[in-house]
Amino acid sequence: MSDFRTYIYEGMFLFPQAQTADIQAALDHVNEMMQRAGAEVLATQKWDERRLAFEIRKQKRGLYLLFYFKVEGSKMEQIERDCRLSDMIVRYMFLRVDHLTMEEIQAQDMPDSLKQGAPGGAAKAAEARGETLGGDEDGERDDDDRGDRRSRRIDDDEDDDEDEE
């Protein structure tokens, strides 16, 4: 028996670092796959560009895009097949998120300036929300921005030594 019930899904797509120069092409690629499956895209977000924990297809860094969409459960096989066959998508993951409200999903949606690939769009959007994209209040990253985690680890080791005495 076929499942005609529609569900809300969250899809995380990993693209190669080269794709960061043309985010719009990556967005269009995923939107085209969703359209072929008859999915309704509810929200899109450029999640992050990160260093990968291990190389995947000779890639050390990647661009993560997050999509929220509504589609019939039976159409997910078609979307997964399209992702497997795509040369642009390095990895993908889908979760069913029926527990999220539409307000929560819409809050994740990326501003139109980012969807159009406007230069400086991420900084402008973050500034409008009162956030900074990494760094201190002055927008600069310092060498000790990463040092907190390491110093905590060293302090924890010292505490363990004291406990043993």
Query: Considering the domain boundaries, does residue 149 fall inside one?
Result: no
**Structural domain span for residue 32:** 6-128
Span 4-14, pLDDT tens digits: 889 999 999 99
Taking the C-alpha atoms of residue 69 and residue 78, their distance in angstroms, rounded to an integer, is 14
Q: Is 98 left (phi over 0), alpha (psi -120 to 50) or beta?
A: alpha
CATH number of the domain within which 53 lies? 3.30.70.60
Domain count, the chain: 1
List Cβ neighbours of 154 (8 Å cut-off, separation of 6 or more): none
Query: Considering the domain boundaries, does residue 56 fall inside one?
Result: yes
Q: What pLDDT was estimated at residue 101?
A: 82
**The pair of three-digit structure tokens given for residue 149, joined into one six-digit string:** 């985690």
Other Cβ atoms closer than 10 A to 19 = 21
| Percent of the chain surpassing pLDDT 90 | 46
Global pTM?
0.64
Find where tokens 């977000």 sit.
45
